[in-house]
Amino acid sequence: MNDASANLDIFDRKILSAIQMDANLSQRDLADKIGLSQNACWRRLQRLHSIGLIKGSHTDIDLPALGLDLTVFVMIRTRHHSKDWSEGFRAHVKRLPEVVDFYRIGGDWDYLIKVVTQGMKGYDAFYQKLITDFDLATVTGFFSMEAIINNRPVDITRL
């Protein structure tokens, strides 16, 4: 447990759980849901923001309805592990708009990138941009056929 989570009580955890499920709850609805007054709930929300446990909010969008119908998990292995190379590669990947998640990982692979794009042609265009000017040992894509669990809220109350 880190310093921020060490000072959380059951109401803080209930707030975090509730806003993970629905970040659009009004303060009144959130307060009612967790059993606090609106003022007490607002103060707690402000504190959770100020200590960095709440970092914005987002809205889930039906991406296939917009034509973004292909999700690919791209695994990358590289021969380069210097700080300069890594920083350059990170900056390169961050500029690619198809990237929705990007991780440096342990094990047999070095990086995992989640890409959302318009079909196979969109993925091929992404792939060409990804490999341009970077010596990558292995790049492979795993194509999602169905999202069974996607962006599941973390069970904060179990902490």
CA angle 138, 150, 67 (to 5 degrees): 75
Phi-psi region of 38 (alpha: psi -120 to 50; beta: other; left: phi over 0): alpha
Structural domains in the chain? Answer: 8-51 (1.10.10.10), 63-144 (3.30.70.920)
Residues forming a β-bridge with 143: 72
pLDDT at 143 (0 to 100): 98
End-to-end CA distance of the chain: 9
pLDDT at 60 (0 to 100): 87
Question: Per residue of the chain (159 residues), what is the pLDDT tens digit?
Answer: 456 566 899 999 999 999 998 989 999 999 999 999 999 999 999 999 999 999 988 888 999 999 999 999 999 999 999 999 999 999 999 999 999 999 999 999 999 999 999 999 999 999 999 999 999 999 999 999 999 999 888 988 877
Tokens 């042609």, located at residue: 121
pTM of the predicted structure, to 2 decimals: 0.84
Tokens for 120?
């196979």
pLDDT at 3 (0 to 100): 60
> By three-state DSSP, how is residue 96 classified?
coil
